[in-house]
Amino acid sequence: MNNILKTPITSPRFQTPTTTVGSEEFDYSGFRNKFELEPRLVEMKRALRNGYYKQYRTSPEVDLLAECEADQLSWPQRAARLIRRMCDAQKAVIRPEERIVFTRTTGKIPPVYSKSQQQVLTAGRELHELGPISNICADWGMVLSQGLLGRRKIARSTRERLKNDPLAVEFLDCAVETVDAVLNLARRYSEEAAQNHRHDLAKMLDRVPAQAPRTFHEALQALRLCHAVLWLGGHYHCGLGRFDQYMWPYLKKDLDSGRIDVPGAEQLLAEFFLSLNKDSDLYPGIQQGDNGQSLMLGGVKRDGSSGVNELTYMALRAARAVGMIDPKINLRVAKDTSVELLELAAELTQIGLGFPQYSNDDVVIPGLVAHGYDLEDARDYSVAACWEFLIPGRGMEVVNIGAVSMPAAVDVAIRSGLTAGDSFEKILVRVSAELRSQVSKLAELSARLLLPPAPYYSVLMDGCLERGSDLSNGLKYNNFGIHGACSSNAADALAAVKTLVYDEGSLASQRLLDALNTNFEQDEALRKRLFDEAPKVGNDDARADAMLVKLFDLFADACEATPNHDRGGIFRPGSGSAMFYVWLAQGHEAMTVPVVGATADGRKSGGYFSSSLAPSPGVRVRGPFSVLKSYSKINYQRICNGGPLTLEVSDTVFRNPEAVHQVALLIRIFAAAGCQQLQINTLNVESLKDAQMHPERHKNLVVRVWGWSGYFCELDEAFQNQIIGRHIYGGPAKCGLP
């Protein structure tokens, strides 16, 4: 036993004054000291970036089809068999520097049905994206506290109770099969550890994830394995939920008993974060990096008291020390969040990974309650892959069933309204009709949605084993989310028409129509006027902001007017744009709404739209305070699916000694202003341009793309260009002084 373990550690754990955060008193100031990865983790990170782990992907690919056919398996049985075979196919890999193990040794996820069978199975129905259940979050706290054997026991007892219900029996047998597969995988890792004379590790893997962890280390190992198996089953965008809430009891016990000290715990935490980057190139997404390993920190507990604890701080520090794109850190804040916590978050913002992403409890929780969520559940919210709010363990929600194209709705309304000689009010009626038509198309799509059985994911959710019903049949919350994409361009177009054509009467309808139809080719003067002089969202200009608010109200009206779908849920409107800011402008095979040509905000055909909540690309705005003001006007009680306000800050801002404090204050006023969600991206345009020219020099350059961060050089050029063209606040230093 070393000295650290002999020293009794009691709170406060740093020898400096204390502050009170919520109900728990502890000291934060020690957390401002940067910590660095220990050498074994530095080496692990280097190996990760070099793709070192790919060398282990040598296991023969699993082929399930023949076996599924021979055994005449049902769909749930095939889903369970997939988990079993994939677990069995994994070779145990234990590198000497690893204290938290699991490395994937197979690449592809094999199909459980042939193409033609799949067609029969899904006839008249629609699979969401790739098919398997995705973009939700398990109740990791429950899974850890019960252990997989605890879950298995519940499955067995429910099976006994429901033994006359063949569907329930089949589901529960499948669930047990997946539990046994994971336990078997853990056993083989344990054997490998023993062979490598890693007896502590072997003992740990004998214990978890079968039983409830006794230590922080065991809890991290259990989570690593249970989470990684989700990906083996073809699930993706697998969230990590409120990590500092469910992990804290294990860490607190260790810290209180002196089993571990803060620096030691932080190194373990950092290793866990690194481990989430091992296999992430195998995870499906729109582009590499879009893998949805979101991790939520902070916020209130289910009873409304502050949930911020030492792990909240440690996780922010560990994420900064790790400096990789996974996990994607989210932080819940409110107007009274301590500035110390915000400063630590700002230090993570500073390194330019594009996270943490901030959510405002003061706005999100009432918004969820207004949409039918129980208050206690609403207080327990986390985010899906990007930004959509969901309740871990209790939501089988499809948070991005699709997007309405606000620019398309507005453009159709403007062109047809001006042609018909409408009043401006009638143009708004047309916008409303367009939005309703788009929402109802998405609602039709959702009615055809087919969610495949997910026996293993069901083990990890609340109530599936208890009820004997697969996750795909629904949970407590079964809502659909719809993005309201590219709102700023749409609002600017409406504001330009209202101001110039209707209020001032300084622009003839026909001239605008001609210009739109010819992509401004013959009327550049008008385009400039629309682009430079018409009111724009982001300037705290009532004329433009009123249009933004109106658009979201009309969108919410459309969602509220849509009957609940047959899975019993509502349609939640949101403000995100995901990849739509490029797809809606330039076309994409996945889009059903038409590509929008030149628009009345002075944007030429093909130009990118605004991403989530950000001013239209290229327009001059006053700065981040006015941007916050503009977007604070949206009625977020009605717009609760999420979608962040995005501020791009020049990295030169951080050359100022007070920058961290100032960025912390910026986060505070975001909350105080009543905005919902915030991303602050730190950008250096010169380095981005250089990275386009010389990708080899910028392998590690990370940027925020939409709801996720990725390596810049691995992005498609269109997205690279969009990022380079984004607004940046905090340019050159001021006058009179160098």
Partner 1 sequence: MAAPIKIHFALLLFQMLTGVVFDIKEFAVHDGPGLRVTVFLKGCSLRCSWCHNPEGLSPEPQILRGAAEERLAGVFFSSQELADRLNGLADLLRQGEGGVTFSGGEPLLQADFVAEVIDQLDRLHVLLDTSGYADESSFRKVAAKSQLVYFDLKLVDPVAHLAHTGADNQPILRNLRVLNELGVPFVIRVPLIPGVTDTVANLSAIARTVAGMPGLQRIDLLPYNLAAGAKYTACGMVFRPTFNECLESKVNLSCFKSAGLKVRIV
278 or 543: CB nearest partner 1:
543
Ranges within 304-323 binding partner 1 (CB under 8 A): none
Determine which residue in the list 100, 501, 659, 691 makes contact with partner 1, applying CB under 8 A: 659
- Is omega for the bond preceding 60 within 30 degrees of 0, making it cis? no
Q: How far is the CB of 540 from partner 1 (least distance, A)?
A: 6
Secondary structure of residue 216 in the 3-state scheme: helix
Q: Distances from the Cα of 725 to the Cαs of 296, 421, 619, 714, in angstroms? A: 29, 36, 11, 18
367 or 624: CB nearest partner 1:
624
Q: Is 618 left (phi over 0), alpha (psi -120 to 50) or beta?
A: left
Interface with partner 1, residue 343, by CB under 8 A: no
**Type of residue at 249:** P
Separation between Cα atoms, residue 67 and residue 86, nearest integer Å: 14
Separation between Cα atoms, residue 624 and residue 653, nearest integer Å: 13
Q: How far is the CB of 9 from partner 1 (least distance, A)?
A: 35
Q: Cα 643 vs. chain centroid, distance in angstroms?
A: 10
Interface with partner 1, residue 672, by CB under 8 A: yes
**Type of residue at 148:** L
Determine which residue in the list 59, 662, 684, 721 makes contact with partner 1, applying CB under 8 A: 662
Pick from 408, 412, 389, 413: which is nearest to 399 by CA?
A: 389
319 or 363: CB nearest partner 1:
363
In sequence order, the 6+-apart residues with CB closer than 8 A to the CB of 685 are 650, 724, 728
686 or 696: CB nearest partner 1:
686
Q: How far is the CB of 351 from partner 1 (least distance, A)?
A: 17
Q: How far is the CB of 737 from partner 1 (least distance, A)?
A: 5
- Token readout for 72 is 């005449």
Pick from 618, 574, 295, 246: which is nearest to 439 by CA?
A: 574
Q: How far is the CB of 539 from partner 1 (least distance, A)?
A: 10
45 or 668: CB nearest partner 1:
668
Determine which residue in the list 40, 187, 302, 622 makes contact with partner 1, applying CB under 8 A: 622
379 or 668: CB nearest partner 1:
668
Pick from 75, 107, 1, 709: which is nearest to 451 by CA?
A: 75
DSSP string, 141-169: HHHHHHHHHHHHHHHHHHHHHTTT-HHHH
Q: Which stretch binds partner 1 (CB under 8 A): 354-362, 486-494, 617-625, 693-701?
A: 617-625
Are 481 and 641 in contact, with CB atoms under 8 Å apart? yes
163 or 528: CB nearest partner 1:
528
Determine which residue in the list 257, 447, 625, 635 makes contact with partner 1, applying CB under 8 A: 625
Interface with partner 1, residue 1, by CB under 8 A: no
Interface with partner 1, residue 426, by CB under 8 A: no
590 or 733: CB nearest partner 1:
733
Q: How far apart are the first and last CA of the chain?
A: 57
Are 431 and 406 in contact, with CB atoms under 8 Å apart? no
558 or 667: CB nearest partner 1:
667
H or E stretch including 220? helix 216-232
Burial class (CB in 10 A: 0-12, 13-18, 19+), 732: exposed
Binding-site size, partner 1 (CB under 8 A): 31
36 or 336: CB nearest partner 1:
336
Pick from 397, 434, 709, 703: which is nearest to 570 by CA?
A: 397
Interface with partner 1, residue 474, by CB under 8 A: no
- Please, how many CA atoms are within 13 Å of residue 120, restricted to the half-sphere of its CB? 5
Interface with partner 1, residue 666, by CB under 8 A: yes
Question: What are the start-end ranges of the H helices in 3-104?
Answer: 3-6, 39-49, 65-70, 75-89
Q: Which stretch binds partner 1 (CB under 8 A): 159-167, 179-187, 231-239, 656-664?
A: 656-664
Q: How far is the CB of 645 from partner 1 (least distance, A)?
A: 14
Q: Which stretch binds partner 1 (CB under 8 A): 172-180, 391-399, 518-526, 655-663?
A: 655-663
455 or 607: CB nearest partner 1:
607
Interface with partner 1, residue 674, by CB under 8 A: no
- Token readout for 347 is 């230090």
339 or 370: CB nearest partner 1:
339
DSSP string, 578-635: TTHHHHHHH--TT--SPPP-SBTTTBPTT-----SBSPPTT-----HHHHHHHHHTS-
Separation between Cα atoms, residue 595 and residue 606, nearest integer Å: 9
Are 296 and 388 in contact, with CB atoms under 8 Å apart? no
Ranges within 88-127 binding partner 1 (CB under 8 A): none
Site string for partner 1, 506-545 (x = CB under 8 A): ----------------------------------x-----
List residues bridging with 682 in a β-sheet. Answer: 649
606 or 618: CB nearest partner 1:
618
User: Locate tokens 């394995």: which residue?
Assistant: 225
Interface with partner 1, residue 686, by CB under 8 A: no
390 or 628: CB nearest partner 1:
628
293 or 539: CB nearest partner 1:
539
Q: How far is the CB of 658 from partner 1 (least distance, A)?
A: 7
Site string for partner 1, 699-738 (x = CB under 8 A): ------------------------------xx-xxxxxxx
Q: How far is the CB of 133 from partner 1 (least distance, A)?
A: 42
Q: How far is the CB of 503 from partner 1 (least distance, A)?
A: 20
With residues binned 3-state (H G I as helix, E B as strand, rest as coil), the percentages for the chain, rounded to 5, are: 50, 10, 40
Interface with partner 1, residue 656, by CB under 8 A: yes
Q: Which stretch binds partner 1 (CB under 8 A): 198-206, 476-484, 506-514, 651-659?
A: 651-659
Determine which residue in the list 209, 481, 624, 643 makes contact with partner 1, applying CB under 8 A: 624
Determine which residue in the list 3, 123, 657, 717 makes contact with partner 1, applying CB under 8 A: 657
Determine which residue in the list 47, 513, 665, 724 makes contact with partner 1, applying CB under 8 A: 665
Ranges within 548-607 binding partner 1 (CB under 8 A): none
44 or 680: CB nearest partner 1:
680
Q: How far is the CB of 359 from partner 1 (least distance, A)?
A: 19
Q: What length is written for the chain?
A: 738
Determine which residue in the list 320, 629, 638, 726 makes contact with partner 1, applying CB under 8 A: 629
List residues bridging with 294 in a β-sheet. Answer: 328
> How many helices and strands, by DSSP H and E, does the chain display?
29, 17
Determine which residue in the list 425, 589, 658, 696 makes contact with partner 1, applying CB under 8 A: 658
Pick from 234, 231, 227: which is nearest to 272 by CA?
A: 227
**Rg for the chain, CA atoms, rounded:** 26
List residues bridging with 24 in a β-sheet. Answer: 21
H or E stretch including 648? strand 645-650
User: Locate tokens 């949970």: which residue?
Assistant: 475
- Interface with partner 1 (CB under 8 A): 335, 540, 622-626, 628-629, 649, 653, 656-659, 662, 665-666, 668-669, 672-673, 729-730, 732-738
